[in-house]
Structure 1
């Protein structure tokens, strides 16, 4: 897989992907940017969320389960010193629908431990939690 990222001036960049989608990235004004795009670190958290969410939907569908709603919230904690890498990433899954809790926990665990290539690429400690139909659940992972 190969992507290209092209400088568009000041601190702005345009990423182009093999799937022909484009992603605007920029820095804040405090470092010379114009705040016209996402920060790369924000995209990294979204990539983790997207990767694991795709896994979970795929696994649930194989179980013949279709959520009514599925959302993720990802929170990353960064080191104080440069390179200010993420030291901890927490993914919270929010689902509604007729989903057996044990099957949801299994799908999350499979994504976290086996399938999500984005999270397996990172060295951060990635944890997970979920809310199913408004009730917060506990992970045994």
Structure 2
């Protein structure tokens, strides 16, 4: 514990966590990031197994919080922007559903946070 938050050390460096963005990542940012990165990583693996080559992928997260319930996360919408080779819209749509089912972070929160996903091929 530090004056303005918490600090933890990992092999790759130090992580600063605080309720104040000036001093570190806010806890909800870490939660949303974990879900987005996990989902995106699983999606990439699924697409590559389907012989689609991914050159670049971004994941944007739109978060809804309930101020009347301690700012509880109520909805996370993930939007993937994907560029690559041999991209098939119908297969990507199915892959997004499959990725959510196989992402441990998404499955951890699926009963308490509404999680929706869309994508754009670039």
| Bucket of the pairwise TM-score, normalised by the shorter protein | 0.7 to 0.9
Aligned counterparts of 2:18 and 2:22: Cα–Cα separation in 1: 6
Larger relative contact order, structure 1 or 2 (CA cutoff 8 Å, min sep 6): 2
Q: Which has the higher strand share?
A: 2
Superposition pairs of residues 1-141 of structure 1, within 5 angstroms: 7=1, 9-16=2-9, 20-21=11-12, 22-28=14-20, 35-98=22-85, 99-112=87-100, 114-122=101-109, 123-133=112-122
In the comparison of the two structures, how many residue pairs are matched?
A: 118
Kindly state the Cα deviation for residue 16 of structure 1 after the two structures are TM-superposed: 4.2
Question: Counterpart of 2:19 in 1: which secondary structure?
Answer: coil
Q: Which has the higher helix share?
A: 2
Deviations 1:70-100 (A, max 9, x none): 0000111001123221111100000112311
TM-score (norm 2): 0.87
TM-score (norm 1): 0.76
Question: Counterpart of 1:71 in 2: which secondary structure?
Answer: strand
Aligned counterparts of 1:128 and 1:95: Cα–Cα separation in 2: 13
